[in-house]
Structure 1
Amino acid sequence: MPHMLLALLCLFFIAPDVVRSATSGRIEGVVHQEGKAIANHRIMLIRFGPGQEVNRTPGETDAEGGFAFEGLETGDDFTYFVGIRYEGKLFRSESLQLSDNETKQDVVIKVGSAGTPALVPGAQLAQINIPHHIIVIVLREGRLDVREIVNIQNSGSVPYQGEAQRKYVLHLPLPKGYDNLRDIQGIAPEHIRSDPFGLYLTQPLAPGTHRLVYTYALPMDDRVRTLLLRRSLPTRMIDVFTDAKSLVATSDFQFLGEVPIQSHTFLHFRGTNPEPGARNWVQITLSGTSTSSALQVVSYALIVAIALMGLAIPLYNQWRHRAGLNTDPAPGTEQIQAWQSERSQLLLAIAQLDNAQAAGALDDIVYRQRRQSCKQQLRRVAEELHRANQPLDTPSLVQELR
C-alpha cells in the first residue's frame, strides 16, 4: 500500500531520493480572436513547480497564431498555463499537467473583450482540501519524533492565494510544545514560516495535489503525552502510526490493528472525514520499564490489602459482638429520651396517615410511600432503643414493626 511505504520512510527519517522528472512533455495550441489568428505575438508559458516556485518561458505565435513549447517537465508536481497580454488585457489557457511523453494539443486561447482573470485571484477555501494525512510517531532518545506527510489538493483551476486579510496562504497546526522542526520537503523552505502554533504557507498554491513532508520533536516530560490533532482544512483521511515496541497508544480514531513494516511493528489508527476545526487526540504512553513494573506491584499489593481489610473488618466486628467486647459508650439519658420522643412522633404520623387515607384525602401511592418512610425511621429508632436495653412497651410499635 502506498501509505505503508511512506510510513517506512518516516520510520527511519530518511529523505527519499529526489526523483528527477522527465522533460518529454509538449504543449501545442493556437491564439485567435473571433476565429482570426493572432499572429507573431509574444506569449508566455508559466510553470508552477513542486516547491511552488514560478518559472516563466517566453514564446511567440507563428503566422497562423500557433505556438508550441517542448522539453517540458512532466508529472503531478508541475502545472502549466499559457498566457498572452493583448491590448492591455490578460488572456490565458486552463491549467495543464503532462504525463511522460505526453503532448497537449489543440490548446486554444480566445482573445475577447473581457479578458481573463489574473492567475492569482484566490480560489475559494472550499477548493482546498487534504485527501490524505499521515502521521508517524517513534521514540528517540526519550523524545517523540513525529513525521507528517500532508497531501494538499487545490481542485480549482487557478492558484489559491488565501484570504486577502491574512499574510499567509495556508495554516497547518502543530501540537503545543513542538520543537526542532526540520526536513521540510515538497515546498521550498523560503515559502514556509513557523511559530508556536504551526506552519504557514506563504506562496500561492497552484492547482493540483501537493505533498508536504516535515519532521518535529515533542518532549516527554511525563510518561504520558496527549497529542491534539487540530485541522484547519477539510480532510478525507488521517492515518496515525505509532511504534508498538516503545510506545503504548490510544486514540478516538478507529484502531485498525498492528502493522508490520520490515522488523518494526506499528499501531495503526484511522480517522475518515473528520469535521473541519474538530480536534481528535492520540495519547502516547511509554512502554513498561522497571519503574512501571514496581508501580504495578505496589498497586496490586494495595488492592489485595484493601480486599483483605474488607473481609477482616466485618469478621472482627462480629467477634467483638459475640465476645461482648463492644466498647462503644452507652447512650445517655438525654439520648434515650430523644429516641423515645421521636418514636412517639412517628407513631402519631402513621396514625394520621391512616386516617387521611381512610377519608380519601390521600392517593394510594402517596400514602404507601409516606407510610413506608415512617416505618423505616421507626425501625431505626426501635433498634437504637433495643441496643440501649429499653423495652418495646408500646403495642402499636410492636405491631408496626411486624
Structure 2
Amino acid sequence: MKRILLLLTVVSLLFIAAPALAAGNGTLEGNVVNRTDGGSSVADQEVTLKTYRNDNEVESAVATTDADGHFIFEGLDTDPSLSYEAQMVYQEADYYSGRLSFAKGQDSLTAELTVYDATDSDASIRVTTAHTVISVEEGNLRVKEYYYFENTSDRTYVGSEVATPDGKKATLAFFMPGGAVGLEPGGELMSCCIYGSDAGFIDTMPFLPGPKEAVYSYLVDYKSGAYTFNQRVRYPVADYNLLVMGEDVALSSDRLVTEEPVTLQDGLYQRLSGANLAPNDRITIELSGLPGGGSGTVLVIIMIVVLAGGAVFGLTVRRRKARPVVARADPARKEQELIVALARLDDSFAEGQIGEAEYRRRRAATKQQLTRLMRGR
C-alpha cells in the first residue's frame, strides 16, 4: 500500500506545472546578420527565444525575421533572475546570441545573431599549433593531444558525408593509435557530438569561422621498455611539438627534430618538434628506456588543456645528449611551462583537490597568459 501511495505521489508531482512566468512589459529585439561576404538572405528565418532560471529552461517563444533579418519578442518578464537567449538553425548550423538579462528598471534588450553561409569543403581548415604530451606510468603511456584549429574562411564548415545512424555529418577527424583506451574529450570537443571511427574518432559539430580548441586524452599499454608511437596528421599543421616526461626516456623520429629537453616545475621533458606537416603525413616516434613493462592498468582520465606550439628548427632528425635547458625567460619555454601548469591544474580538479570556482579562476588566468604568448609570436 505504501508503495502505491508513493507511486501516486511521484506521478502527481510530474503533472504539477512549473510556475508560469509573469506577463511583463519587457522587449527583446535584434537582427540576424550574415557575415559571409555576399552571403544568403536572412529573411523569413525562425528565431527561438529561450528563457532560463538558474540555468533551467522554463519557457520558449518563436519569431520570424522580416526582410532585413529583424526580429522582436514582446511581453517578457523583466525579473533580473531570468536570462534570455536567442537561438536559430541556419544552413545546418546552430547559432546563439548569448545569455541576456534585464537589469532592475530596464525593459528592453537587444541581441545580434551572427550567422554564416555553410560549406561542405574543409579546404580552409588548418592547425596552427599541435601538441602531444606523454606521461610515462608503469606499463602505461598517458597521452594528451592538444590541437588549435582555425577555419580561415568566412563560411561554417558543416561536413560533407553523413557519418552516424541519425544523419550527422563528420566535420573533424582525430587519430588515435591502435590499442588506445579511455578516451576523454576536452576543450571544445563535446561528448555528445563525437563518435568512434576506424582510426580514432570524429566530431560532428559545425566549425564556425575562427579558432577552435580541441583536446583529448587516452591511454596505451606497452609490454617492454620500448614503444613505437604512431601519429597521423589529418590537416595541415604549422607547428607540432611532442613532449615526453622523464630523464631516462630516449626519443627518435623519422620526421621530427630532437630539441633540447626542458625542465619544468614537475620534472624534465624530452622534446621533439616539426613544422609544416601536410595532410595524411605519418610520423613514427620511437620511445626507449621506459620503466618496467608488462600489462598496464587502464585508468579513467579527464584532461581539459590548451595547446601551444614551441620553437621549430627543421625536420632533420638528430639525437643529442639530453641535458636540461638553463632556465631563462624565453617565450617557447614559458609556453611549455604554461601547458604543463594547465595539465596539472586539470588533474587537480578532476581528482577533487580544488573546487570548481577556484579551478575556473586559475585556469582562465593561465590560459590568458598562454594566449598572449601565442599571439605575440
The TM-score, its normalising length taken from structure 1, stands at 0.45
Higher relative contact order, chain-length normalized (CA < 8 Å, sep 6+): 2
Larger Rg: 1
TM-score by length of 2: 0.48
